[in-house]
Structure 1
Amino acid sequence: MDIAAVTTQSFDAEVLGSPRPVLVDFWAPWCGPCKALAPVLDQIAAEHADSLTVVKVDIDEHPEIAGRYQVMSIPTVILFVNGEPTATLSGAKPKAAILTALKPWL
């Protein structure tokens, strides 16, 4: 599954305005752990497509979004529910750890 990229221009509409929970992956092309996490997020996006939207933000191209949510290290994933940041995970976590954190919203 191809995870859609959101931009500064589309973030508010696609993430904050979404009626579904949205998991946002803050990453950068040069980040090794981000590359390791990508296939895990692809699996989660495919397996939970009916209840969860997964998107990504390149922090080099859109640093203002990372700054708004105080993303200090990457990879960081933040779950937004009803436009509010609800859960944050930093580092390349295994699939089971991510799903455990997301379980109340899946």
Structure 2
Amino acid sequence: MATIAEAIMVIKKAENDANRLIQESKDKSSQMIEDARAKALEIIESAKKEAEDEAETMIYESRARAREEAREISSEAKRKTEILKSKAMDKIDEAAELILKTII
């Protein structure tokens, strides 16, 4: 009888060991899943931050280009205005003469 009892004890111990291994595996699996989720969130946050930084850089560069373009347009407008003013001033004498001839 001792051998049957010993065999039952060995089987019971093996079952307990197997149950313990199964539980440890489940715990380890849960921890790995939790770690993977945390890492995924970290990667997502990092990617989001990089995208926001890139967007800010693009906006800054676009504004800088727009300001430069506005300065160039303003400068060109001033140059053309001065040319028109100069041409108009050149014709003042003619206009004055014409007005005087019309009046006299």
TM-score by length of 1: 0.18
Pick the structure with more strand per residue.
Answer: 1
Structure number with larger C-alpha Rg: 2
